[in-house]
């Protein structure tokens, strides 16, 4: 079983992968099914990792749309014929920077908490 820090690191790694793909531009995203699939896959990873986060941690960051992140993962996994690429792109471009900053802040806090216990 993966620990909380590992799950949060999974989120950051998936965001980094998406950022690389997004940097190649919207035109490539629109025309290349492999890039679309790559971004979708990493959004699924984010949703899976976030779904394993405890309620206690979610309460520490109520500003994050935890349920919506997990819900998007469910749509991407189970309704793949109904995926709206415009929403995938919008999530990748607009939503991930805030998620990245929040997750990094949580990891920093958790590290500080652990250091305080030593």
User: Annotated catalytic sites, by residue?
Assistant: 73, 78
The CA–CA distances, whole Å, from 16 to 80, 112, 116 equal 23, 23, 29
Q: Radius of gyration of the chain from Cα atoms?
A: 15
Nearest to 60 by CA among 18, 111, 102, 4: 102
Q: Rounded to whole angstroms, how far apart are CA atoms 92 and 8?
A: 17
């Amino acid at each position: 079983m993966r620990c909380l820090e590992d799950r949060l690191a999974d989120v950051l790694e998936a965001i980094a992968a998406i950022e690389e793909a997004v940097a190649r531009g919207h035109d490539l995203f629109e025309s290349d099914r492999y890039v679309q699939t790559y971004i979708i896959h990493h959004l699924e990873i984010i949703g899976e990792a976030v779904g394993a986060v405890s309620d206690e941690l979610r309460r520490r960051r109520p500003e994050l749309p935890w349920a919506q992140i997990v819900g998007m993962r469910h749509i991407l996994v189970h309704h793949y014929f109904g995926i709206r690429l415009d929403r995938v792109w919008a999530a990748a471009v607009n939503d991930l920077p805030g998620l990245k900053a929040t997750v990094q802040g949580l990891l920093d806090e958790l590290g500080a908490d652990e250091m305080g216990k030593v």
